[in-house]
Structures are given as structure tokens and as C-alpha cells.
Chain A
Amino acid sequence: MAGAPPLPQPSGLRAWLLSAEPNSRWQARLGRGYLGWRSFTKNPLAVLGLGIVVLLLFVALFADFIAPYSPVIGGDLRTQRLLPPSETFWLGTDDQARDIFSRIIYGSRITLFVIVLVSIIATPIGLLVGTVSGYLGGWVDTVLMRITDIFLAFPRLVLALAFVAALGPGIENAVIAIAITSWPPYARIARAETLMIRNSDFIAAVKLQGASTPRIIFGHVVPLCISSLIVRVTLDMAGIILTAAGLGFLGLGAQPPSPEWGAMVATGRNYLIDQWWVAAMPGLAIFVVSLGFNLLGDGLRDVLDPKAAK
């Protein structure tokens, strides 16, 4: 091997990150993060998914600057109704002479609002129910898991429909309904993880040191469950978007004139045959965004949970 050029020695930041003997906990964590990032970026589809999600965030944040027209107030009803896509109206206009492109841009805020709120509500519930149930076992486990199974026994959209029917239509109620139907799978995952963790030696050690049950659950079990839960929630976000859009399509989500994508498709239904773009464009936005979340979730799973990727 004398003739071969010497292997390039990593230097600088990368060497520091990849160091086999990190000097601090921070360095070790960052190094692991870097390794994860490297394997994540090897998957072009996952990077595409990340790109779509980042784009969604960007668009939602800067909607005021991107959208050329108002999402709610339309143009001239005599001349600008149901115009096909053109240079002035990129994706055409709807029956109220509103620019569909601008409405989709602003609609991203509603989509983001729903996703964030549902995950903020549903994830802690699932985490709490799952870890408590798994750690305590016994009758607590039986009762909590029976309740979880009952909620799993309803198809998600149908249960959400029934809840929205009772609470009344509206975006907040749609969020509550979707959150109520979202937590059971999280609880199942958190419980399965807890069952594996609770018999490990370090839990026994913590117990011997006299830690209380809440301290063990919240300080030692919960942090270990979080990574697989994050993957599951990310994979679920596409489902949340689709459920919210379905509720919107049925007229139970955000109410007019709010530019919710599902409701926009429902409006377009009346003009489907001659003005196809009214229904087609918002539906395409739903498709692209949920595809982005699915790709991102798949990529994250491969990095964080290599066992499940097979």
C-alpha cells in the first residue's frame, strides 16, 4: 500500500464532531446528531420531504409578502370570476373572484396551525397514558389500555366527524376532534417502549437510590420514549392533514371565507367540469404537503429507528 496516497485526515469541525473520544457530553451529542444528519442526507427522498416541510414553514411565515392578492377579498365579480390560470392569476380565480394562489399561500397557515396544535395536544396525552400504563402495570394498565383500544376501535375520520357534529363546525373543534382521535397509537407505542425500559438495570439502580415513581416515569422513562414517538408523530402528520382536509371538505372544519384547502376543494366541486382548477389546485397543495411529511417521516425513521426500517 506504499504507493497509495495517504487517506485524507478529517480536520476542523468534522474531526471534532466525529471524535472517538469526545471531551464533553455536548460534543458527544452533537457528534451523534451529525452522524444522524449524514445518514439522513444520504436519502434524497427524505431530503426532498424536509425541503417541502421547510417550504411550508417559510410560506406560512411570509404569506403576507408572498401572496400577491388578499385571500379573502376578491376582485371584480363581473370580470374576474373563475378565470383560468394566467400570468396575473397564477392558479386562476375562484367563484368569488379571489386569487387561488394567494388563498393556498394563506391556507398553509391553517394547515400548520392544525398540525402543531394536534401534536401539542395529542403527543403528551399519549406519552402520559402509555408510560404510566406500561410502568405501573396491573389494573391501571388494563383500564388505560382498554380505553385506548376503544378509541382505536373507531375509524379516525368517523369518530372525528361525530365529535365535530357534537361540538359544532369550526377549526378549533376540528383540532380537538382530531387530537382526541390521534393519541391512542402514541399511547400504544409509549407503552411498548416503557415495557422494554422498565426491566433494565438502570431503572433498578434508580429505584434502589430511592427515586419516586413519578420521578422514574418523567425523568427516566419518558425521555427514552420520545424519539420513537417523534417519528410516529411525524409519520402521522400526513394523516392529520388529510383528516383535517376531509373535515374541511365536508364543511366541518374551517368556515368560509377562511382559505382552508379542503374547503376550497369542496367549493371547486361545483365548478369541476368547466373550471377544474378551482378544485384541482388546493387538492394538489394537500397532496404535496402530506407527501413531504410522509417522506420526512420515513427518512427520520431510518435514522432514529433503524430496526423498523426493514
Chain B
Amino acid sequence: MASSIANGGGGHDALRFYLTKTAQFVFVLATTLLGLVAVTFFIGRIVPIDPVLAIVGDRAPPAVYARVRQELGLDLPLIQQFWIYLRKAVTGDFGNSVLTTNPVMTDIANTFPATFELATLGTLIGTLIGIPLGVLAAVKRGSLIDQFVRFIGLAGYSIPIFWLGLMSLLLFYAKLGWVPGPGRIDVTYSYLYTPVTNIVLLDTAMQGQWDAFWDAVSHIILPACLLGYFSLAYISRMTRSFMLNELAQEYVIAARVKGLSEMRVIWRHALRNAAVPLVTVIALSYANLLEGSVLTETVFAWPGLGQYITNSLQNADMNAVLGGTLVIGTVFVLLNLVSDLLYRLLDPRTR
């Protein structure tokens, strides 16, 4: 980057600089995605279960066995098998699920919106509470609220999410009766709307089914708060450290000398500069919630991608497991990419 500036910053050089950057970017993205496919392919090959036997059963005559083996492409050299797998993966064809008999991609398309809904709400909660908490902790360093944020952060890194989920169900559902039990929506409401986006909150709201909407809200609130807590733990801790960094800068002193109110200095000047790295943190925490959702969905019987993967796991349905893993990995990569791009876009120093 420095060299392109040293070259005089001519339009030609700048163009070449951006082209090389873009090429690098595409190379990194392509190799990462290729690697993801390769890893899942490799995992699929080390399965001790013989996929042919799983289909034909152990009493099939050798001729049938050989034919099925050929149909599955298992007689081809490994590299050719990988090529076929890759070509199919690019078009989103991960084979059929043994458990549901649907194509894996259809299942994923049906379950992913539920995970998306949960993770989005969780990140929203974590961001809306985590950033103000982190800012307060940095401003009142060493105070009670700072200790509190430190504690929340530490606990968030140490509590098993599935256990906290169970305990919150015990408290808020069984003992206090504040929320309905596991699941996404009550059966009585589940036929009142037609699933369009598969995001229940959106579907019910768009179709004006407000009773169903509020029932869905009461179902999602506990798992979303749970994921929100883990996101909050991370976001508030990072906000605190970014804000401490900004508050020590000279422009903050300058703003104070100018006579700006402390509120304005903190929220308009310091936070604005801390916001740039925070975007990255929020995107990362969003990606982490995808992981957290695997266990959370199991606890709350939430029909999302995480539950789909764990259900398939327990039934040795490898196509579904690998397809789901690949989709989560891809979303993870794309989220990292988006955070990287936003960082470049928002921070003029990286240009």
C-alpha cells in the first residue's frame, strides 16, 4: 500500500493496486471455499460405515454390491471422486438425506431461516446492550459497572451454553411460567399463517396474524436472550478496550479543551472512532452465534440448521451433516469477508 502512494498515486498505479488487491482477495476466497469442500470431502471418506452396505444391506449378492458401488462413483480414483463432489457442491447438490429423504439442500433451505432469525435477534440484543455497557465501563474505569462488565465477560467465556439454556428453561418456564416451553410457535397458531420466508416473526407480521406473532415472540425471547448474552459478553468487553484506547487519544483532549460536553466527547467523538473496529467484532460475534446455535437449538427444540445437523449426526446421516457443515462454514467465511470489507470501507486509514 505504501509503495503505491510512493509511486506518485497516479490513476494508473492506483488502478493496478486495486486490481492486485481484488485478485488477492478472490484468490483467498476461492482457496478457502475450495478448502472447505476438500475438508468435508475428506471427512466423508474416513467414515467407517460403508455407504454401499448402508444401501444394499449385508445380504446383497456381489453383483448388486458392485453395481451400486459403481452407481455411487466409488470405483473411480479418489481425485475424480473429489472433482465430481466439487462440481455437485458448487451447484448446491449434497445428495439426499437418509433421514428425511429430501435433498439436503432443500432441508437446509427450510431450516436455515430459523437459525438466521435466532442468531440475528441474539446479535441485536447483544449489540444494543453490549455497546452502552462497554462504553460505560471504559468511561468509569475501575468502578462497579466496570467490574460488572468484566464479570459478565468472564462468565460468558466460561458457562456452558447448553447448561445455561437448561437452567433458564427451568427458571423461566418451569418455575416462573413466564415463557412457553421449547419450540418455535404454539401448535394452535402454526396453521394460521403460510410460511413464505420461513422466518416466523416476519411471516406472521406480514400476514397480520398478530396473535401468532406474539406467540412466536414469546417462544423466541428466551433462546434469543441466551445467545444475546454470549454476544453481549464479547461485544461489551471489546467495546471497553476500544473505548479505553480512543479516550487516551489526543483528539479527545482537544474536544474537551474546546469545551464540548462530556456526553458529546464520549458518544459522538470517541465512540464514532471505536465503531470501526466494532463492526468487525459484531460480525465475528454473529458468526460465533452460528456455532452457539447448534447447542442452543438442541436445548430449545428450535427447528434450525443446528438441530438438523445434530439430528442427522445421531442417525449417521453423513450427507446431511457434511452439507450442513459446509453451509455453516461458507456463511462463516462470508461474514468474515463482510466484516473485512466494512472495515476497509469505514476506516479511511486502510485505503
Taking Cβ atoms with an 8 Å cutoff, the residues of A that contact B are 146-147, 149-151, 153-159, 161-168, 238-239, 242, 245-246, 249-252, 262, 265, 268-269, 272-273, 276, 279-280, 283, 286-287, 290-291, 294-295, 298, 310
Q: Please tell me if the beta carbons of A168 and B48 are within 8 angstroms of each other in the complex.
A: yes
Given the known interface contacts A161-B294, A273-B170, the answer about A246 and B332 at a Cβ–Cβ threshold of 8 Å is no
B329: A residues at CB distance < 8 A: 153-155, 158-159
A162–B43 touching, CB < 8 Å = yes
Specify which chain B residues have a CB less than 8 angstroms from the CB of A163 in the assembled complex: 43
Q: How far is the CA of A273 from the CA of B245 in the complex (A)?
A: 47
How far is B329's CA from A215's CA once the two chains are assembled, in angstroms?
A: 38
Tell me whether A154 and B36 are in contact in the complex, defined as CB-CB below 8 angstroms, given that A166-B47, A283-B167 are known contacts.
yes
The interface residues of chain B lying within 8 Å CB-to-CB of A164 are 313
Nearest 5 interchain pairs by C-beta: A150-B35, A283-B163, A155-B291, A291-B158, A290-B158
A294 vs B158: C-alpha distance in the bound complex, in angstroms? 7
Across the interface, which residues of A come within 8 angstroms of B310, CB to CB?
Answer: 161, 250
In the complex, the answer to whether A286 meets B163 with C-beta atoms within 8 Å is yes
Which single member of A161, A294, A295 contacts B313 (CB below 8 Å)? A161
Sample (11) of A-B pairs whose CB atoms are under 8 Å apart? A157-B294, A158-B294, A167-B48, A238-B158, A239-B157, A242-B161, A245-B160, A246-B161, A250-B314, A262-B160, A294-B158
In the complex, whether B6 has a CB less than 8 A from a CB of chain A is no
Whether the Cβ atoms of A280 and B167 lie closer than 8 Å is yes
- Report whether over half of chain A's contact residues are helix, strand or loop; otherwise say mixed: helix
In contact, A149 and B32 (Cβ under 8 angstroms):
yes
Contact A146 B328 (CB under 8 A): no
How many residues on the B side are at the interface (Cβ–Cβ under 8 A)?
53
Query: If A161-B321, A161-B325 touch, does A249 touch B158 (CB 8 Å cutoff)?
Result: no
Instruction: Identify which of A153, A239, A245, A251 contacts B36 (C-beta below 8 A).
Output: A153
Distance between A297 CB and nearest chain B CB, rounded to angstroms:
10
B294: chain A residues within 8 A (beta carbon)? 157-158, 161, 246
0 or 1 for each of B329-351: is its CB under 8 Å from A? (1 = yes): 10011001000000000000000
Task: Identify the interface centre among B44, B290, B291: most chain A CB within 10 Å of its CB.
Answer: B291
A251 touches B241 (CB 8 A): no
In the complex, which residues of chain B have a beta carbon less than 8 angstroms from the beta carbon of A287?
155, 158-160, 163
Taking a contact as CB atoms closer than 8 A, the residue among B36, B166, B316 that contacts A279 in the complex is: B166
B46→A153 contact, CB < 8 A: no
Q: Which residue of A lies closest to B43 (CB)?
A: A166
A165 near B244 (CB under 8 angstroms)?
no
Counting chain B CB atoms within 10 Å of each CB, the highest count among A154, A167, A294, A295 belongs to: A154
CA distance A280 to B314 in the complex (A): 24
Taking CB atoms, residues of chain B closer than 8 Å to A286 are 160, 163
Across-interface contacts of A165 in B (CB, < 8 A): 43, 47, 313, 316, 318, 321
Q: Which residues of A contact B157 (CB under 8 A)?
A: 238-239, 290, 294
